[in-house]
Structure 1
Amino acid sequence: MSKDYNDSFIVTFWERIFYYLSKISIFYWVRKIAKNKGYFLVDAWVLGNILLSFLAVVSTYYINSRFKAIFWIILIYGVLRVFEIIVYQVNVLFFDRIRTKKNKREYKIKSVTRTIILLLHNFVEIMLWYSVMMICLLKIGGNFPDDSSVWDFIRANILNVTIFNADEIEQIAGSKNSTIANLIFFENITGLFMTLLCLARFINLLPPVESEEEM
């Protein structure tokens, strides 16, 4: 059969890429080992990781800068977790429905409300992991500012992810720190994706609520 070069291939192309990227995921292997595809494991994973990200912010702030191996381990996990969230959200947003239909099954989600709550958990977790990354990078680089509190790091990264305001990060790390400048860039891209695409997409699906005037 000859190939029709008038057909579009871009959706299939990116669907395959994100299918394989989803395998570079800690949770993918957790589910495979646990042989569990239920909702409880997903909810527990999200809640557990948001708690872990908060504990990581506090612990990395107070751990002595000499223990660089610890910072590298936590930094790598944080990067993998943010990567996992982004890939997962892209799959949910664009490709899971397509894969389900290819397998001749009906595509359904458990609940729109649940999906948005989990998405908000992911959003907060990303802010915390970026705070962890910033602390780790500064301590590994040997230029950690002792006059900044834990909350200063968290607040600076929340502002950068949500409203793209990097002023506080630059005040803490210095505007000439190229590593932190790259971190700021990735934070902005992540915040743009999570806010404009994911939240806008799923909040629009919330069931309408009748008002007293309408009734």
Structure 2
Amino acid sequence: MGYFLVDAWVLGNLLFSFLAVVATYYINSCFKIIFWIILTYGVLRVFEIIVYQVNVLFFDRIRAKKNNQKYSIKSVTRTVILLLHNFVEIMLWYSAMMICLLKIGGNFPDNSSIWDFIRANILNVAIFNADEIEQIAGGRNSTIVNLIFFENITGLFMTLLCLARFINLLPPVESEEEM
């Protein structure tokens, strides 16, 4: 039952993050309270994902060892899939946050599509390229620059977490030098 709840939580929040992007894009700018609610939930959810990943990666194993318990996961494949879901969810939350900040500030560009926002934030989190975000935001908006900074840090952190967690799970490859 515990695994089902975790899977449902991850999939539900992934779906909610996508719906948040769509809702923030299409909701009229005069409903600022909705933007503040979505912005707050998005920030909390990104923070929760990072804290949870750090806990799972570093402390669950140590805590189990300290309590003389066996540490195991249900499946490496399941864990990788859930981690990738979290990565995509973070990219979508940053898209929703960006739209919220632009609509709250009254600087929302009417000529950008919903896909422009999603693509710009995926590129920023995955490859640290903020050019499209700056183009959409119309230059150097200080709030958006801070968002870009946190996006880059989050993307770097999640990439390092993925590598740190799963690099040792790759199958060993024989080398000619070893023979």
Aligned to 1:136: 100
Aligned to 1:116: 80
Cα deviation 1:163-211 (Å, max 9, x = unaligned) = 000000000012220000000000000000111x22112332446399x
Aligned to 2:122: 158
Aligned to 1:6: none
Maintained 8 Å contact 1:53/1:129:
yes
Q: Name which of 19, 41, 44 aligns with 1:55.
A: 19
Aligned to 2:171: 208
Q: Name which of 50, 60, 65 aligns with 1:101.
A: 65
Partner SS state of residue 64, structure 1:
coil
Partner SS state of residue 204, structure 1:
helix
> Greater CA deviation, 201-210 or 53-62?
201-210
* Distance in 2 separating the partners of 1:118 and 1:41: 12
* Distance in 2 separating the partners of 1:68 and 1:122: 27
Instruction: Give RMSD over aligned pairs.
Output: 1.5
Letter in 1 for 2:41: Y
Higher relative CO (Cα under 8 Å, sequence separation at least 6) belongs to 2
Aligned to 2:177: none
* Distance in 2 separating the partners of 1:102 and 1:146: 56
Overall identity of the aligned pairs, in %: 82
- Contiguous gaps of at least 5 residues in structure 2: 174-179
Cα deviation 1:64-96 (Å, max 9, x = unaligned) = 000000000011000000000000011111111
Cα deviation 1:48-70 (Å, max 9, x = unaligned) = 11011001101100000000000
Letter in 1 for 2:108: F
Aligned to 1:71: 35
TM-score (norm 2): 0.92
From the two aligned structures, give the one with the greater helix fraction: 2
- Contiguous gaps of at least 5 residues in structure 1: 1-35, 211-215
* Rg (Cα) greater in structure: 1
Q: How many residues end up aligned between the 2 structures? A: 173
Q: CA deviation at 1:102?
A: 1.7
Q: Name which of 122, 127, 144 aligns with 1:180.
A: 144
